[in-house]
Structure 1
Amino acid sequence: MPSEPGDHEPDEGSSTADRALTRSDLTRAFWRYFWSFQISWNYERMQALGFAYAMEPVLRRLNPDREAYAEGLRRHLQFFNTSPFIGGPLVLGAAVAMEEAGAKSSAHGVKVALMGPLAGIGDTLVFALYNSVVFTIGASWALQGNIFGPIFTALMVLVPYFAVRRWQFFWAYAQGRKLAARLAGGALARLTEGATVLGLIVLGGFVPSIVKVVTTLTYRQEVTVQGRASTQEVQVQHQLDALAPYLLPVLVTAGTYLLIKKFRLKPVWIIALVAVVGVTLGWLGWFAPTLPEVAR
């Protein structure tokens, strides 16, 4: 008697174990990623739609059963966001290999484990280092009237970006098949835990530079100077800077994380909530991105 969907664990099913992907399937997945990964970006799930679109030909090949195919698409439509240049192709290639090996939950685990750390590493290498050098050189030549300036910049962006992403995808696919064969003894769980810790460290380091919020509130205290009593006005932010710099940005970040994890609010609602609260408190004059010059 044929089994109903859900009778066994989707992770260990045999529907994908006896099927292999062709080079055409892999190429199609890569090109889908290349053209759609950022175009389909949205505030709710960010790069998830592009990731699922790239995985679609793979899932169609490996899951002839319609229910298993639909379940795979739903699984890869979960929230995903990482560096599209160094990180995204690597995670995609590894996830494709896990799906082919029948390790479906491992494909999801690799995404969760690697997207955070690779986002920090990729964005730093690409935007902070590589792009800064390339665009500086190109701009300096362009300002001198040299046509080679924009040509140099275009070539140094288009060619390396494509080559690096293609290499990452196929390399991660080859390595992912080996990794899937050796997944045992909680190796993926340890990888996930370690990568999560690294991702939180990277995120914590970016909080002060990304989240800009200070309080403009003041309080008055009575002080005695040389026997004379007077009222002194104290900036709350100055006291916070002396005791716990960047406390408010950390609290804002922790609050949004709590809304996601505990109350399971969608990112769109959190963005709207932060915008409304920020505008309201700014209008009341309680908080601002920086202290006014007169208050320093």
Structure 2
Amino acid sequence: MESRTHNLSKKDYVVATLRSYFLQNGFNYTNYQGTGYANVIFPGLKKIYKDKPEELKKATTENIEFYNVNPQTVPFVTSLQLAMLDHGEDPSQIRGIKMALMGPLAGIGDAISQFGIAPLFSTIFASMAMSGITAAPLLFLFAMIGTNLFIKSGLGYLGYKMGTSAIDILSEKINQISRAANIVGVTVISGLAVNFVRVNLALEYATTIDGEEQVVAFQTVLDQILPRLLPAVVTIIAFYLIKKRNWNVYKLLALLIISGIVLSLLGVLV
């Protein structure tokens, strides 16, 4: 691990936590929260890479990549990432941990905020409003803001503590942690790809079995040999075009839509 002077103070982590309120402002369907995430940690990155404009540019660009997590839990990730960067950890290994946290924190955050806190406060303050308490809507607003601020601040502090006090422990096993995080990420993406990408062949051929002519679908045979092969192939091609050919999402979508229509009209896909 590189020895370096720590450039961030506790105030910088607080600033990042507060800036997380603007996470969704840069939302788009190319990188989702990527632009907002880079904006959240940018002041911290400027301090970490002060007098190193090229490294700052590279770090900022890398953090504009696709990211999608519950907004209430993002301070945990930003604090952890900034703390590890400030302690000189390898950015590529930190990225693996950052991406691995995306799925679990999205699930936990949605369960707590959208399916826990919001319905609970809605029920309480709606009942108060129906009872004639005119301040109920404002009380609901203050309760939601206060609770979300508490969650954000708590998770931001937890991420800071894990990234600083546990840095020595993490540094000894950072390669194993990073590898495990990458494996989890690839496993999740692979599972999503084969379950949500639909590609089915419409081609059939006739064969004689026990003296009777039967029609056999190529898709049936393919599924018996290599189940879900076509969704995996399409996903790999999409990854190649985005990663290696620098295609944007809109160009890729156009290709997939046109290809799907043409191949369907030709009777190749169903």
- The alpha-carbon deviation at position 194 of structure 1 amounts to 0.7
- Partner of residue 197, structure 1: 183
Change (3 A) 1:281 1:137: farther
Higher helix share: 2
Give, as a single letter, the amino acid of the residue that structure 1 aligns with 2:263.
L
8 Å CA contact retained: 1:59, 1:69: no
Unaligned regions of 5+ residues in structure 1, if any? 1-10, 289-296
Residues 265-276 of structure 1 correspond to what in structure 2 (within 5 A)? Answer: 265-268=246-249, 269-276=251-258
- Partner of residue 118, structure 1: 101
- The alpha-carbon deviation at position 40 of structure 1 amounts to 1.2
Matched, 1:90 2:76: yes
Change (3 A) 1:18 1:198: closer
Q: Distance in 1 between matches of 2:181 and 2:231?
A: 23
3-state SS in 1 of match to 2:26: coil
3-state SS in 1 of match to 2:24: coil
Change (3 A) 1:13 1:122: closer
Change (3 A) 1:33 1:126: closer
Change (3 A) 1:164 1:135: closer
- Partner of residue 228, structure 2: 246
Change (3 A) 1:224 1:133: farther
Unaligned regions of 5+ residues in structure 2, if any? 132-136
3-state SS in 2 of match to 1:287: coil
2:7 is aligned, of 19, 25, 35, to 19
Q: CA RMSD in A?
A: 3.8
- The alpha-carbon deviation at position 176 of structure 1 amounts to 0.3
Matched, 1:278 2:265: no
3-state SS in 1 of match to 2:45: helix
| Higher RCO, 1 vs 2 (CA within 8 Å, ≥6 residues apart) | 2
Give, as a single letter, the amino acid of the residue that structure 1 aligns with 2:7.
R
Number of residue pairs matched by the alignment: 258
* % same residue: 22
3-state SS in 2 of match to 1:275: helix
- The alpha-carbon deviation at position 244 of structure 1 amounts to 3.8
TM-score normalised according to structure 2 size = 0.74
Residues 131-210 of structure 1 correspond to what in structure 2 (within 5 A)? Answer: 131=114, 161-182=148-169, 184-185=171-172, 187-210=173-196
- Partner of residue 19, structure 2: 32
TM-score normalised according to structure 1 size = 0.69
Deviations 1:241-261 (A, max 9, x none): 444433322222233234445
